[in-house]
Amino acid sequence: MAPLAPSDIRNVALVGHHAAGKTTLAEALLLSAGALSRQGSVEKGTTVCDFDPEEIARQLSVSLAIAPCNVDGVKVNLLDTPGYADFATDMQDALSVADLAVIVVSATDGVQAQTEDAWRTAAALGIPRLIVIDKLDRERADFDRTLSEIRAAFGAGVAPVELPIGSESQFRGVIDLLDDRATLYDTSAGPPLRGADGPIPDDLAVTEHAVHEQLVEGIVVGDDDLMARYLDGEQIARAELQASLASGVAAGAVFPVLCCSGATGVGVDRLARLVVELCPSPDRGRPAQVSAGGVTTEVPADLSAPPLLVVVKTLSDQHAGRLSLCKVLSGTLEPDTVLTNPRTHADERLHVLSQLRGHETTPVDAVGAGDFVAIPRLAATLTGDTLAPKDKPVTVVFPEPEAPALAVAVAPASRADEDKLMSALQRLCEEDRSLTVSRSDEAHQTVLGVSGEVHLAVTLERLSRKFGVTVERQEVAIPYRETISKPAAAEGKHKKQSGGHGQFGVCHLRVEPLERGGGFEFHDEVVGGAIPRQYIPAVEKGVVEAMARGGAYGYPVVDVSVTVDDGKFHPVDSSELSFKTAAMLAFREAVAHAGPILLEPVSKVVVTVPADLQGDVLGDLNSRRGRIVGTEATVDSMQQVTAMVPTAELARYAVDLRALTGGRGRFRAEHDHYDPVPEHLVAGLARSLPSE
């Protein structure tokens, strides 16, 4: 079977805040298009897009899912995205390969934190946007209030093209503002509903006429010919208005607002048709950006071009193995095609091609540019990777995930868990690129980098369910350091007799502080053979080992200069071990008399928040011993606060900032430097030195 032409495909990402109704709306669209025989329920765990046990248990989408359907002969790939902040990377990934963002807003809850985040992400990627006010059948649903919030949040260009008929449980239809028609639904019939033309209710006629005129004026203003005809009093045909509206949507200048109820099905069939009419097809939307040799170029969706893919999502099943969801950016893909991964330089044979709906796969013969394909068992290819022809190894520009906001140490609950832990975590990282795993050799900890507490809980549940690994959570050890504040000197003597050759070594060391970040310097000023030349490296080795073991407070010592200037040896009993041990003793004593200082890591933190929350954030950072470096406004009318904050004070900052700002704040942190620990905190941080 020949692949679909790009003009017959629409790629639509459903984005918005958690519980706005995205998954239910996806289910309703699938049912309306005939892709389902009955509508599943989020509450019952029977939807197509929420199929992981963790999603079903929480009634919460935690990863990107795809569900294609056919609307009037056009294939619509619905990308259902998580709305919870912890899983924003999947939302970002979906938008990077979509041609239209459908921003779903709950008529009961209005514009929320992740609604704004989805909008900002789509705007940054240049994605056309359409807004759907959902849940109009719910108690406390208010279309006018929600529309006002949308206009206040997203400004110019927001244009309602539908008005609801009835409210809450009486929501029964919509008015099409393009052609002054009403569509009514018999909600007693149950979904899927099909609307029928009906009269505009008398109580809405005046409002509808005024909003209709505003909409028409907003559409024709972007077309000189339509504007002239409109000013001459000509009635502009719906088809022309719709074509002009579609151009405005594609240009990112107009953001239509529609209304529906995913639960009852009212307005869903109209939404499906309008998505097809207003969403740019892959060959008319944004071309893919690719990089080769440092030069970025565009690749159009062309069936006759060489095949080019990007991996959008990696799914893993303990029985079926790894499955890669890819978007075909150009060319035509057939089974057994061989492509190259430019990152790993490995060739991948694409043995089987499938269409993915939720977690169900259907084999296909060919997939063309603009469409999605699922490929099993790619050996060396992960999410974000490119698959390209060997002779044209370009790399698709794919967004990088944000750095983890929360670090948590985990320890295996048993020896059996210890043997499987790292390999299991590596498998999870392949599925979820917002998850990171690192090993702290200093603290002997395995550290997970996650986006928040819910992300952590889901990760640990998957670890147990998929791989049978149980772990215990621990606090991440803060990498404190020590240094000295003044010069000092000491002698170390190691003497031991045990029959036969003994051990003897004496060395005299001077220690001096270096500037912060100076590291370590070692100088040899021994004269007259007080210490034979062959033992000087052993002295340096002993100093380095003593620095690593810890100084007066039990933490590694940094930023010191050490000079060996004298010593004694025995022609029989001296050895490298003797002088190494003597150096360790001398160094430890010298540091104890050199004004030891405990240092703590300090992170540079950049917090982005709405302007009205800046004061709260500044106060919170001050309470964490933070030093404010500066504030500035961002291009999206947010405030950016930069501060230097002790790393120990940031252990739960991701959770606390979300609570403080209602989810509207975000931050990034990176290590910047070390500063002395305040005197009143030092005693509580000192620890015993490891035994010799």
Q: Where residue 689 falls among pLDDT bands split at 50, 70, 90?
A: low
Instruction: Write out pLDDT tens, residues 602-614.
Output: 999 999 999 999 9
Expressed as residue numbers, the domain containing 524 is 481-594
Burial class (CB in 10 A: 0-12, 13-18, 19+), 82: buried
Gap between the Cα atoms of 425 and 431, Å rounded: 10
**pLDDT score recorded for residue 39:** 95
Q: Where residue 190 falls among pLDDT bands split at 50, 70, 90?
A: confident
Instruction: Write out pLDDT tens, residues 446-458.
Output: 999 999 999 999 9
386, 496: one domain: no
- At residue 370, the 3 state secondary structure works out as coil
Which tokens go with 353? 């091609």
Does some domain include residue 692? no
Has residue 122 got a pLDDT over 90? yes
Instruction: Write out pLDDT tens, residues 513-525.
Output: 999 999 999 999 9
430, 305: one domain: no
150, 32: one domain: yes
Gap between the Cα atoms of 393 and 408, Å rounded: 38
Q: Where residue 690 falls among pLDDT bands split at 50, 70, 90?
A: low
Does some domain include residue 608? yes
Residues 6+ apart with CB under 8 A from 618: 628, 631, 641
Instruction: Write out pLDDT tens, residues 442-493.
Output: 889 999 999 999 999 999 999 999 999 999 999 999 999 999 999 999 999 9
The CATH number given to whatever domain includes residue 455 is 3.30.70.870
Name the helix (H) or strand (E) containing 396: strand 395-396
**Which of the listed ranges 103-107, 199-203, 314-318, 529-533 does the model predict with the highest average pLDDT?**
103-107
Gap between the Cα atoms of 362 and 501, Å rounded: 78
Tell me which of 335, 362, 396 is where a domain ends. Answer: 396
Tell me which of 353, 378, 396 is where a domain ends. Answer: 396
* Pure H helices in 279-349: none
**Which of the listed ranges 8-12, 193-197, 374-378 does the model predict with the highest average pLDDT?**
8-12
* Pure H helices in 335-484: 415-431, 453-467
434, 522: one domain: no
605, 570: one domain: no
Q: Where residue 635 falls among pLDDT bands split at 50, 70, 90?
A: confident
Name the helix (H) or strand (E) containing 475: none
371, 517: one domain: no
Residues 6+ apart with CB under 8 A from 488: 510, 511, 590, 591, 593, 594, 595
Residues 6+ apart with CB under 8 A from 292: 392, 393, 394, 395
% of the chain with per-residue pLDDT over 90: 82
Residues 6+ apart with CB under 8 A from 270: 162, 174, 176, 183, 195, 258, 260
38, 108: one domain: yes
Gap between the Cα atoms of 425 and 310, Å rounded: 24
Per-residue pLDDT, averaged over 498-505, amounts to 80
270 touches 257 (CB < 8 A): no
The CATH number given to whatever domain includes residue 109 is 3.40.50.300
**pLDDT score recorded for residue 497:** 75
Domain count across the chain: 5
Residue with tokens 């705007």: 123
Angle between helices 268-278 and 22-32 (to 10 degrees): 90
Gap between the Cα atoms of 49 and 375, Å rounded: 18
Instruction: Please state, in angstroms and as integers, the Cα–Cα distance from residue 287 to each residue in 43, 260, 299, following that order.
Output: 39, 31, 6
With left for phi above 0 and alpha for psi between -120 and 50, is residue 233 left, alpha or beta? left
Has residue 2 got a pLDDT over 80? yes
Has residue 24 got a pLDDT over 50? yes
Which tokens go with 569? 């040896």
The CATH number given to whatever domain includes residue 657 is 3.30.70.240
361, 415: one domain: no
350, 498: one domain: no
- Would you give the DSSP letter of residue 195? -
Gap between the Cα atoms of 657 and 640, Å rounded: 14
**pLDDT score recorded for residue 385:** 96
Tell me which of 594, 621, 656 is where a domain ends. Answer: 594
Does some domain include residue 226? no
Which tokens go with 478? 């803060």
Gap between the Cα atoms of 307 and 337, Å rounded: 9
**pLDDT score recorded for residue 692:** 47
Does some domain include residue 238? no
581 touches 505 (CB < 8 A): yes
55, 97: one domain: yes
- Please give, one letter per residue, the 3-state secondary structure of 137-191: CCCCCCHHHHHHHHHHHHCCCEEECEEEECCHHHCCEEEECCCCEEEECCHHHCC
The CATH number given to whatever domain includes residue 544 is 3.30.230.10
Give pTM, 2 decimals: 0.90
Instruction: Please state, in angstroms and as integers, the Cα–Cα distance from residue 620 to each residue in 371, 386, 538, 541, following that order.
Output: 47, 42, 50, 45
Task: Tally Cβ neighbours within 10 Å of residue 604.
Answer: 15
Does some domain include residue 387? yes
Q: What share of the chain is helix, strand, coil (3-state, %, to 5)?
A: 30, 30, 35
Residue with tokens 């912890």: 86
Has residue 217 got a pLDDT over 90? no
625, 640: one domain: yes
Closest CA to 355 of 365, 344, 341: 365
490, 423: one domain: no
Per-residue pLDDT, averaged over 195-221, amounts to 89
Residues 6+ apart with CB under 8 A from 624: 645, 646, 649, 650, 653
Which tokens go with 263? 């639960």
- At residue 501, the 3 state secondary structure works out as coil
Helices (H) and strands (E) in the chain, counts: 16, 37
Strand partners of residue 625:
none
Does some domain include residue 229? no
Per-residue pLDDT, averaged over 571-580, amounts to 92
Angle between helices 224-231 and 202-220 (to 10 degrees): 130
**pLDDT score recorded for residue 688:** 60
The CATH number given to whatever domain includes residue 323 is 2.40.30.10
| Dihedral in degrees, nearest 10, Cα atoms 49, 52, 58, 64 | -50
Does some domain include residue 223? no
Instruction: Write out pLDDT tens, residues 293-344.
Output: 889 999 999 999 999 999 999 998 666 678 999 999 999 999 999 999 999 9
Does some domain include residue 50? yes
Gap between the Cα atoms of 460 and 409, Å rounded: 12
Length of the chain: 692
The DSSP code sequence of 541-594 is HHHHHHHHH-STTSS-B-SEEEEEEEEE--TTT--HHHHHHHHHHHHHHHHHTS
**What is the phi/psi pair of residue 391, to 5°?**
-85, -5
Burial class (CB in 10 A: 0-12, 13-18, 19+), 575: buried
